[in-house]
Amino acid sequence: MCGKQLISRPYDIHKFCSLKCYRESVANRVEKVCPVCNKTFSVWACNANRYTTCSQECAHKFPSALRRYPAHIKVCENCGTEFRHTPSTNPRFCCFACYRQAIVKRYGETSIEKKIRLFLQTLNIPFEQEYKIARYSIDFFVPLLNLAIECDGTYWHRDSKRDRAKNQYLKRHNLKVLRLSEDDINSGKSNNQIELHSLINH
């Protein structure tokens, strides 16, 4: 507090050289902004680095990784929004959906996505490719049918656990989900599945 050098032992937890310095530090308070609710709150200056959120309720909502390490602010390279991250991660995008959209912009669509796009165009069904919903990205979204079409490549969709989690999230948002395997797309079976969904929902 006063700038005086303090000699302490490894097991000594005291931060101040005298009771006077301790009382002065307690009297000084600083204001901080809660990253969860944006509420302004004040804490003792000597313990300011120990408090990130304004309450226990907000602390539970705050990402666990950011509770232990100082958070950095970065701008997503795809959508331009600001997001918080830990220094060790150093991500370029705010979510997987933005990462997916950036990959498509740079490298283009996959071969199976191209086949589905061309087929949807022949049906004259309005659709949006790489449609973003929250942290997910849908390969094709058909607004008239309220349908999400996912093209599941054999290599990238070996883990069905993540696909199930995505399905549940989309269904909670009242979206129908149609997953087309790479084999069905290459053999043409997927065209019948899309036509069947369009007939049922018209």
pLDDT in tens, the chain (202 residues): 565 665 555 544 456 666 666 666 556 778 888 877 778 888 877 677 777 788 877 776 666 545 555 567 888 888 888 887 766 677 888 877 788 788 777 777 888 899 999 999 998 889 998 888 877 888 999 998 899 999 887 765 556 777 888 889 899 889 999 999 888 999 989 888 888 877 666 5
44 with 127, same domain: the answer is: no
Is there a single domain that holds both residue 56 and residue 114? no
Measured between alpha carbons, how far is 171 from 137 in angstroms, rounded to an integer? 14
Domain presence at residue 184: yes
Tally of domains within the chain? 2
- Is 75 contained in some domain? no
117/58 same-domain check: no
CATH of the domain at 179: 3.40.960.10
Instruction: Indicate whether 116 and 196 sit together in one domain.
Output: yes
Residue 115, pLDDT score: 92
Q: Burial code of 140-165, b = ≥16 C-beta within 10 A, e = fewer?
A: bbbeebebbbbbbeeeeeeeeeeeee
What is the pLDDT at residue 116?
Answer: 92
Query: How far is residue 73's CA from residue 160's CA, in Å, rounded to a whole number?
Result: 33
Identify the pLDDT of residue 64. 57
Do residues 56 and 115 share a domain? Answer: no
pLDDT of residue 97: 76
**Cα–Cα distance measured from residue 131 to residue 134, given in angstroms and rounded to the nearest whole number:** 10
pTM: 0.53
CB atoms within 10 A of CB 139: 23
Can you spell out the DSSP letters for 64-127? HHHHHS--EEEE-TTT--EEEE-TTT--SSSSHHHHHHHHHHHH---HHHHHHHHHHHHTT---
Report d(CA 22, CA 30) in Å as an integer: 16
The reply to whether 114 and 185 lie within a common domain is yes
Buried/exposed 60-70: b ≥16 CB within 10 Å, e otherwise: eebeeebeeee
pLDDT of residue 67: 54
Question: Which pLDDT value is given to residue 12?
Answer: 45
> What pLDDT does residue 11 have?
43
Q: Do residues 52 and 127 both lie within one domain? A: no
Q: In terms of domains, do 114 and 196 share one? A: yes
> Residue 140 has what pLDDT?
93
- End position of a domain, from candidates 62, 87, 117: 62
Residue 114 is part of which domain span? 108-200
